[in-house]
Structure formats: C-alpha cells, structure tokens
Chains A and B, each alone.
Chain A
Amino acid sequence: MYLQSPLPLGNCGTRLCFPYEELDVSDLNDWTPRPWLALQNPSEAVTRPPALSTEYTTKTKRSEAMMADEATRRVFPTEPASHLRPRSRSVKSLVSTPESSFWRTFRSSTLHPSYLHLPITSLSFSPNSSLLAAASSTSVRVFSSLSLSEYDPTLFATLPLPDLAYSPSFRCDGALIAAGCENGAVRVFDLPNDKPPKTLRRLNAHSCASRVVGFPLLDHKLRLFSAGDDALFVQWDLPTETPLFSVPGAHRDYIRAGAPSPVSPDVFVTGSYDHTVKIWDARVNSGTSSVLSINHGHPVESVLFLPSGGLVATAGGNTIKIWDVIAGGKPVYSVETHNKTVTALTLAKVRDDTRLLSVSIDGYLKSFDFSRFKITHSMRYPAPLLSVAFSPTGTIRVVGTNNGAMYMGIKKKKDEFEDQVGSDDFAWSVPLPEKPTSRKNIRYFKRGQSEKPSEGDFIIKRPEKVKLKEHDRLLRKFLHKDALVSVLKTQQTTSIMAVLEELVARRKLIKCISNLDNDELKLLLSFISKKATQPWCARFFMDLAKWVLEIRAEDIRSGGPEMAVHVRNLRSMVAHEIQVQRSLQEIQGMISPLLVIAGK
C-alpha cells in the first residue's frame, strides 16, 4: 500500500560506486602463489622459529587473497592525511600543450659569431640548403652544417662589406646572396662550395644605409629589391645593375622593413619609421604613389606577407598587426603580448601548421597561430632579441641578440614531415596528401586513435590505474617491515608518515619496530631525530620516539657511536623544543591578559 511510486535505482549494490579496474597481467604474476621458502622474511624470522610457519602461511594466503581484489574493487594506496602534508608553495605547473611539447624538442645552444659583442641585426636561412647568414658588424657570416649532430656550426664564408652589414638575403635557389650596407651599397655575392665567395654585382643607388635587401620569393632570379634610410625603394635588374623601378621618397622616414610577396614577383611591402606600411607593384609605374598605404601606428620594424599573400603582418612598437591587403588594408587582428618593441618577424613551420614567430627587445620569442589568432608558445632569452630565423626544414630556430650571441635551437629528433618539406620554401608549400595507409602499415591499425573528441561527444574515460609504489606493493604483500624500511630509504616525510599510519591501523607498528635490525633502526632513528618536533607530526613522533627508545633500549646502547649520535641529536632536539615551548608560554602569558582586556 505504500509503494506506489516507480522503483528506485534498485540494487545498485557495491559495484556501481567505482569504475571497474582492468586486471593487469603483470599484477597477476605478482600474486601467484610461491613456495613458502621464497617468502622467508628476515624481519619475521627474528622473532619466530622457522618451524612454526603458520604466520607465513596466513600472510601468503592473505596476499593471495588480495590478488583477486583488483577485478572488482578499487585499490587505495596509502596516503597521508592531508593535514600531515606540508603546504607546498610551488607555482602551478605550466600547462603542457602539443605546441609547447613541439618547442621542447629543440635542443638549444649558444654561439658567438664575432667576439665584438655587436648586435646581430639580421638572420636569414638559405631556402634550399642549411646555410645561415647572419649580419653582424661589417660582415655577413654564412654558417653551414647546422645539423643535428654538430653543435658548433662551421663558418662557411665571410662576406666582406665596406661598412656595417644589413639584411642578407638568399636567392630562391640559394646560389646568390645579397646584403645591404651602412654606406648604401648593395652587394651580390655568389656562394661556390669550394672557393671563397666573390662579389658579383655592386648596386649603388642608396645614399644612406640600405637596410632592406631582398630577392623575390618566386622564381624570378634576376631581380632584387632594396630600400634604405634615404626612403628610396628600388627594384634592380641584376645583370645590368640598373634600377627597373625606383621610388625616391617612398616613405617620409627611414625604411626599416620590407618583404616580397609570395604570390607575385612584382609586389613588395615596405615599412617605415613614419608609421606607414606601403605596398608596391612594379607593374604599376605610377610615380611615387604606392598601391596601398596602411598606418600601423608605431614605427614599423618588420613586415611580412603571410603565406596566402593576402595578409600582411607588421610589427612596430610592442604590437604586431595583421592586415588584409586584398580588402584594402583592413586591420584583422592586433597582438600586444610583448612588453617592448617587436624587432623581427618570421614564419615557422610547426608540424603541419605555420606560425608567426616574433622577437622583441624584452627577450621573448613568441609563437603566434594566425589561423586561430592565439599565442601558442613563448620562450624567454637572457638578452634583447633583434632578429629571428627559422629553417625551411623546420628543424632549426635561431635568434640573434644585441650582444652578439646567437641562440640556436636544433630539433632533437626528426619529424616525419621533415623530408616532405624538401627544398621548397616551407611557408607556401602545399602539404603533400597523406599516404594512404595499407593494412601492412601499423598506422592502419592505429588509425583514429588520436582522434580528438568534439564538443558534444560523451567521453568515457578509461579508469586510471592506480600506480603503486614500492612500499605499497610490500604492504599489499603484508611485508610490513620491508615496507617501512623501503619507505624510510626514500626520505620522503609524507610517504613515511603514511606508511607509519597504515602500520598503526594494521596493529603492526610495534612489531615492526622490534624487528628492525641495527642498520634499519639507525635509519628510523635518524628520521625521528630530524622530524620529531615538527608541529604537524609531533604528537605521533613523540610517542613513536618513546616507544622506539623503550623497545630497542639495549640495541641502541650496544649500537655503537652512530646510534649514539642519533640519540644525542634527538635529545638536543627535545631540549630545544622544550625551550621553544617555554618561550611560547611566556608570550602566551603576555598576550592573554591583553586579550581578556580587549574582550571587555
């Protein structure tokens, strides 16, 4: 008459409360019954004649009985009550993302190309070989063999320049290199393998420092563009050393940044200290006016076309901005994560994606995912950074500082994608279609395993396997003394506390103490003498120390000088603690009348 309502949950019983644990085969091996002798426990042998093996049998039986445990029931490792854990002040550990793990695979090294501690103003990788050009002081140094095995890159060549060198740039086939100079000259060198480099062309048009020199990215080997502090922008025809397209007064201030377009050999972008970024098209010969002008808002230090050719990234002040040039210079996104001026930008290939790397005077290198508009990683260097380069193979990352040091990161192990990138410039290469996996391939069987759950998916987690430590395993086998010794050796106070508490709960602590041999007793005594007066465990350890001294008095007396040292330590510690308590009582005596008065 009372039960009109629908049925309750029913007999959910004990088993619904915890997830099933999978039975591990290795654990089963642990449990297999073994002959009695194998279990001879020296600790227990001290007290019991070996003939009476009933204790062993019960112990083994129980550990065998425990074996059936796992399948249905959860296992609790011994853990200290949390009030016994000292409060840690450690900072929350950094979150590990796939991106950060990628950057962590780089092994870093430092090298000083010159001993003058002059700033490295520009860095550039050859598109098809592992050559690295670094502009520092009056020369451009070209390094080679930046391979995994060798830390020290060998100096491949030094390109002589009459004054401070700027902006080395490799041609798309890597055969030529061009560099600007403080006096305005632009020189083009060849890079033969066995001979010293030879100056092929000298291009003289700039009256001030030619800060920006660049070959077009596309396969147009006879052109070069340069820009400089005289606000002149020139596109050169190399064989004849004559300017094809020249814009005097392209900006109203120094031009400090420029980049070729990845989609057209005739389109360039320049950035200047007059806060503007201008886009030039050599096919449109309309005098001094640019195709497009964008105001960045700060003196522009670096500009870059993003791989699509439709977006431009500009860096100036401490902001990086992304513009849509096809839409007429519409700002797309602005990043303000650096604290000081952003000095250089480059593109980096991170696994399948492309990232925009930026370096700044504040010493940070940041990786920006421009598809999601998110900073994905940041690295700190000990000096202001001026330049950055990332190898087209995606294995080397170099940053140049203002004190002449170069920080290099070389990827430790080869990625699968490395070989595919090949000689093409990484940024605008279309990733190869994925190989169809055959049944012979291990990937065929593992396909879909790395699939990430989407928003609405219901995730069923595999129950976590409880990791048992050495002392836990011994406790599960009822080898109490061994567990105590093994945990004492770890020197971890909280674990030791946990094991001691568990032993108390099993009524085995006193027996354990009486079974310890002399070395193990020393271990325990040294631990007690260190920790006995710590407030969070004092009550326990005071009693424990009393018992240890009482039970093992004879062993301690005959234990030799080492034992005596521990006991002396303990005594001095107790004496000190008594003193502390006394002074605390004095303070309490002083404070309590005040509190009583305050209470009234």
Chain B
Amino acid sequence: MVKFLKPNKAVILLQGRFAGRKAVIVRSFDDGTRDRPYGHCLVSGISKYPAKVIKKDSAKKTAKNSRVKAFMKVVNYSHLMPTRYTLDVDLKDVVSPDSLVTKDKKVTAAKEIKKRFEERFKTGKNRWFFSKLRF
C-alpha cells in the first residue's frame, strides 16, 4: 500500500471550472487543515493547452502556439483523478498556500508557473501532460 497523492503527481481535475484539465500536485495536505478538514492538495495545472505545433510552422507561429495558460487551485482529493504520470517541475518555491490569498500574488505565481510549463513543453518531454484530454 503506497501513498500516491504526492507532489509531482499528474492528476486530472474532475470538478469545477477546470474539470478535465491536467494538473500537477504541488503540495498535499493529507489530513487537511482547520479550514479544510478533508484531504486536499494544492495543484497547478493548465487552463489553456498549447496548440499543435508542427515543424513546418514559422517561428512566429510556433511561439504563438506554444503558449500555456496555467492555474493554481486547492482541490479536494475526491475531485481529482490520479494518474500514473508524474511531472517533475519544481514549483514548490513559487506556489504556496499564501500565494492564493491575494489577487496580485496569484497573478505573479501563475506567470511563473506558465513560464516553467512553457519551458517544459518546448523540450518535448511529458508530452502526455500537455496534450488535451479528449472527452
């Protein structure tokens, strides 16, 4: 019996505005906190997937299509579907529970995540994570 809801695990959100989007667990709170007495975790995910990029595209088009829009959210475990994939992007220093409190902190954190996700997408690794889930 292994605990699998750990940081860097790729999950799919099941409920809410970002249902069907893939995300990465940044921090998990198994026992919950006083405000949230249930198991939950801080995830950061993709709200807008990067478009298809092919070799024939011009540099401008590639740059435009590789953009990723990211989000951060605190999600209950029961609203996640864990997957067997992981994404080891170091987001711990950027995303923290208090960066979700105020709007400007949220925006700066989201921008940082976006940058890191885009870097990772451009290297071509973790292709599953950056592809849209069709349903």
A binds B: no
Enumerate chain B interface residues (CB-CB to A < 8 A). Answer: none
Enumerate chain A interface residues (CB-CB to B < 8 A). Answer: none
